[in-house]
Amino acid sequence: MTAVEPKPAVAQETFDSLNPATDEVVGTYPVHTAEQVGEAVARAREASRWWASLGFDGRAERLRRWTATITRRMTELGEVVQRETGKPAGDAQLEIVLAIEHIAWAARNARKVLGRKRRPAGLLLSNHSATVEYQPLGVVGVIGPWNYPVYTPMGSITYALAAGNTIVFKPSEYTPGVGKWLVDTFAEVVPEYPVVQLVTGFGATGAALVGAGVDKIAFTGSTATGKKIMAAAAETLTPVIIEAGGKDPLIVDADADLDAAADAAVWGAFSNSGQTCIGVERVYVHEQVYDTFLKKVMELTDKVKPGVQYGPMTMPAQLDVVRRHISDALARGGRALTGGKDAVGDRYVAPTVLVDVPEDSEAVREETFGPTMTIAKVRDMEEAIEKANATRYGLASTVFSRQNGPRIAARLRAGMTSINAPFSFAGMASLPFGGIGDSGFGRIHGPEGLREFSRPKAVARQRFTAPIQLTSFSRTEKTEKLVRTLVTALYGRGAKG
């Protein structure tokens, strides 16, 4: 069984999905029109009543079936990811494994996080009971990028599903096949209604989804597109989550395990050709260990080969951005210890380590999204923190220090920080994921991710009539005086001393 997809009313325009390593056409998909997107949302709206009615347990059971299907067919999905992104099999598997972890967690925890709970009614209304529960929003539109085409959109899709919403998913035009695979396998385990639907196409299809009357848009992609989406969503007061780009720092303190720090820097900067929103782009190293750290980074970088450890640039236009950032860094006094001017080829970019790059150059300020990193020497951790925070982005960050990790982490202006290992927060389903500033707002993953796709419903219930009636014209002066006395006794004394 395949996913329910909008039926073309007229001859349907299509586009090709290419393998970025070979330019081979690996699939052809419809460019869905605004009308077709609207139809998909209408179907999702109908399906949402059924999906919500299943309750936490019914949904969890179906999400577990989906988890099992994806797990059993992980290799097949990995091949689709590889064909459309060019990433190595191990990297494709890693993002699938992490996504599986998230579906399982969301299914298991939705009731606990979102289910009805009692709250204290307070002294003045102690004749009442109070409860809050988190209800589904209805239909969530998910717009995804291509760099982690499974892990990234699934961070929204699975949490929104567990919270009781139906989904219309618009994957990146570079990875529609991965989107289709996910939607088709969901339809295999939940054949009754179109709970998860696919719409494909370019930016215009995404824009149509934003304007189609969904209850929330969960967008992951570039900051520039995020701004456009938020502006468009304002027209209909549609709430949005924006998971956008980053310029993430890695900080190395004098007491750090330098082998581990160098390994994390090299992997964090170069894996997936640096096309990682939480990838390491800037490194700040304590002057006492700078030379040793640099030597270790160079030894490890020597062994990293494009086409082996990582694939081609998935989006050809990104090659120009990477070239521009490297040229700007070199033109302004930076040095490439490896890679550099000739690093950018037709499809692949060689790993590039830049030092002595001015902090106000593009290579330090803008998201490069390629296999490059800048490394800078700092006097102390104060300077490292200040420089790490001097960015309009604020997605993730990494700290290496045996003693000071938590203290430094607390001061980093970023949604997430991992200490003494790269990216570990991303694999922990219980931790919220998201950024601040130009990296966006809102959270996927964890309890926060479940609540992001639901609305709190507060209910106050009077259990018995109180002797003191405050909200009635029958209220007497005596009651008012009594309340005054009571509140004064409770709160009137102020702070001690």
- The distance of closest approach from Cβ of residue 441 to ligand NAD in the complex, given in angstroms and rounded to an integer, is 10
Closest CA to 359 of 385, 335, 391: 391
Q: Which residues contact 432 (CB under 8 A, 6 or more apart)?
A: 415, 443, 444, 445, 446, 447, 448, 449
CB of 448 to ligand NAD, least distance (A): 14
Q: In the set 57, 72, 76, 202, which binds ligand NAD (CB under 6 A)? A: 202
Catalytic annotation on 79? no
Of 55, 58, 203, 437, which one interacts with ligand NAD (CB under 6 A)?
Answer: 203
Selected from 78, 138, 176, 206, the binder of ligand NAD by CB under 6 A is 206
DSSP letter string over 303-332?
T--BTTTB---SSTTHHHHHHHHHHHHHHT
Rounded to a whole number of angstroms, the minimum distance from the CB of residue 205 to ligand NAD is: 7
Which parts of 191-334 are beta strand (E)?
A: 196-198, 216-220, 240-243, 248-252, 280-286
Q: Please work out the total of residues on this chain that contact ligand NAD, with binding judged by CB under 6 A.
A: 32
- H or E segment at 410? helix 405-411
Q: Which of 86, 194, 211, 221 binds ligand NAD (CB under 6 A)?
A: 221
Residue nearest ligand NAD (C-beta atom): 206
Which of 95, 243, 366, 367 is flagged as catalytic?
243
Q: Is 281 in the site for ligand NAD (CB under 6 A)?
A: no
Toward ligand NAD, which CB reaches closer, 82 or 225?
225
Residue 57 Cβ, how far from ligand NAD at the closest point, in Å?
30
Q: Which helix (H) or strand (E) is 397 found in, with range?
A: strand 396-400
**Paired strand residues for 373:** 353
How far does Cα 376 stand from its chain's mean position? 28
Nearer to ligand NAD, 246 or 405 (CB): 246
Distance separating alpha carbons of residues 68 and 72, to the nearest angstrom = 6
Which of 43, 83, 102, 170 binds ligand NAD (CB under 6 A)? It is: 170
Sequence-ordered alpha helix ranges (H) in 29-133? 34-53, 55-72, 74-85, 89-114
**Listed residue (399, 145, 428) closest to 248, CA to CA:** 399
Q: Using CB under 6 A, which residues numbered 327 to 356 contact ligand NAD?
A: none
- By CB under 6 A, is residue 367 in contact with ligand NAD? yes
Among 17, 109, 200, 225, interactor with ligand NAD by CB under 6 A: 225
Contact yes or no for 344/323 (Cβ under 8 A): yes
- Among all chains, which residue has been given the structure tokens 């949604």? 415
Which of 160, 210, 212, 429 touches ligand NAD (CB under 6 A)? 210
Q: Name residue 228's amino acid.
A: K
Cα 189-190-196 angle, rounded to 5 deg: 115
Catalytic position from the list 39, 84, 95, 277: 277
**73 lies in the binding site for ligand NAD (CB under 6 A):** no
Quote the CA–CA distance of 56 and 43 in Å, as a whole number. Answer: 22
Interface positions, 250-279, toward ligand NAD (CB under 6 A): 277
Near ligand NAD by CB under 6 A, which window of 75-83, 181-189, 201-209, 345-353? 201-209
Among 229, 252, 285, 343, interactor with ligand NAD by CB under 6 A: 229
**Cβ of residue 414: shortest distance to ligand NAD, in angstroms?**
11
Is 244 one of the binding residues for ligand NAD (CB under 6 A)?
A: yes
Residue 52 in the binding site for ligand NAD (CB under 6 A): no
The CA distance from 276 to 273, in Å, is 8
> Which one of 73, 108, 228, 413 is in contact with ligand NAD (CB under 6 A)?
228
* Nearest distance in Å: CB 279, ligand NAD: 8
Q: CB 154 → ligand NAD: shortest distance, Å?
A: 11
Measure the CA dihedral 78/84/88/94, to 10°: -40
> Tokens 């996913």 identify what position?
3
> What is the footprint of ligand NAD within residues 387-446 (CB under 6 A)?
395, 435, 439
* Residue with tokens 């307070």, as numbered in its chain: 122
Q: Scanning residues 123 to 152, which ones bind ligand NAD (CB under 6 A)?
A: 143-148, 152
Nearest-approach distance from CB 123 to ligand NAD, in angstroms:
44
CA 345 to chain centre: 30
Instruction: Report, in Å, the least distance between residue 469 CB and ligand NAD.
Output: 52
Residue 245 is a binding residue for ligand NAD (CB under 6 A): yes
Helix 258-270 crosses helix 290-302 at what angle (to 10 degrees)?
Answer: 50
Active site includes 382?
no
Please choose, from the candidates 123, 131, 118, the residue with its C-alpha nearest in 3D space to the C-alpha of residue 468: 123
Which residues are catalytic, by number? 243, 277
Residues that bind ligand NAD (CB under 6 A): 143-148, 152, 170, 172-173, 202-203, 206-207, 210, 220-222, 225, 228-229, 243-246, 277, 315, 367, 369, 395, 435, 439
